[in-house]
Chains A and B, each alone.
Chain A
Amino acid sequence: DAGVTQSPTHLIKTRGQQVTLRCSPKSGHDTVSWYQQALGQGPQFIFQYYEEEERQRGNFPDRFSGHQFPNYSSELNVNALLLGDSALYLCASSPELYLGEQYFGPGTRLTVT
């Protein structure tokens, strides 16, 4: 049973560029959340998707957007990259909206230069 998978593993972008990160949830899970983890900090909630809709959003600007596909996989898009967007981006899946234990993927390390 595959767990949560994310791609790519690492990414280097230049300020002002756009980036797309991808996530496939654990089998049987239909809810996907995204978190940003800066170095030495705990993860910060970005948003959560269920039934292809954004259900809840954290304190992140509109430059951060997402999408969920019919197969429950998800993308995180960040436009107009800033140096401060450099972080580990974590995807988590759970078997139901809001409730249930969350399972995290290995993350995508984004470096903005």
Chain B
Amino acid sequence: KQEVTQIPAALSVPEGENLVLNCSFTDSAIYNLQWFRQDPGKGLTSLLLIQSSQREQTSGRLNASLDKSSGRSTLYIAASQPGDSATYLCAVHGSSNTGKLIFGQGTTLQVKP
């Protein structure tokens, strides 16, 4: 059974700091992995999608990496800003014949001015 874990559960950093959010999964046989952002009480915004054949994806100040063999993904945020404060969720798409995403519990990030 696939399980997704995100550590830490919460993180507080000063503005301008570079930071890394971690996501681990127990079954390396994944199809793809998505990182999402969620603001309080709101829906999910897709940040990056990494296919299983890819090692990383970049969008602006965000970079996501994937290491299937070790069951890990990281989301790197450069030069953090207060507007980056939100909960970040990673989700694994287990195989090509399922639409089910399996989510971690998220990391809540606070960037202080």
Contacts and interface: CB of A to CB of B under 8 A. Distances in A.
Interface residues of B, number: 24
Contact of B99 (A43, A48, A103, A105): A48
A60 interface: no
B43 A90 contact: yes
Contact of A94 (B4, B44, B99, B104): B99
Contact of A99 (B31, B91, B102, B106): B31
B41 A103 contact: no
Contacts of B96: 98-99
Contact of A103 (B46, B105, B106): B46
Contacts of B20: none
A40 B105 contact: yes
A44 to B, nearest CB: 8
A104 B43 contact: yes
Contact of B42 (A31, A44, A45, A106): A106
Interface string A13-27: 000000000000000
A102 B98 contact: no
Contacts of A48: 99-100
Given A31-B99, A33-B99, A102 B46 contact: yes
Contact of A101 (B34, B41, B89): B34
B84 to A, nearest CB: 19
10 contacts: A33-B100, A33-B101, A41-B105, A42-B89, A48-B100, A56-B100, A104-B43, A104-B44, A107-B42, A107-B43
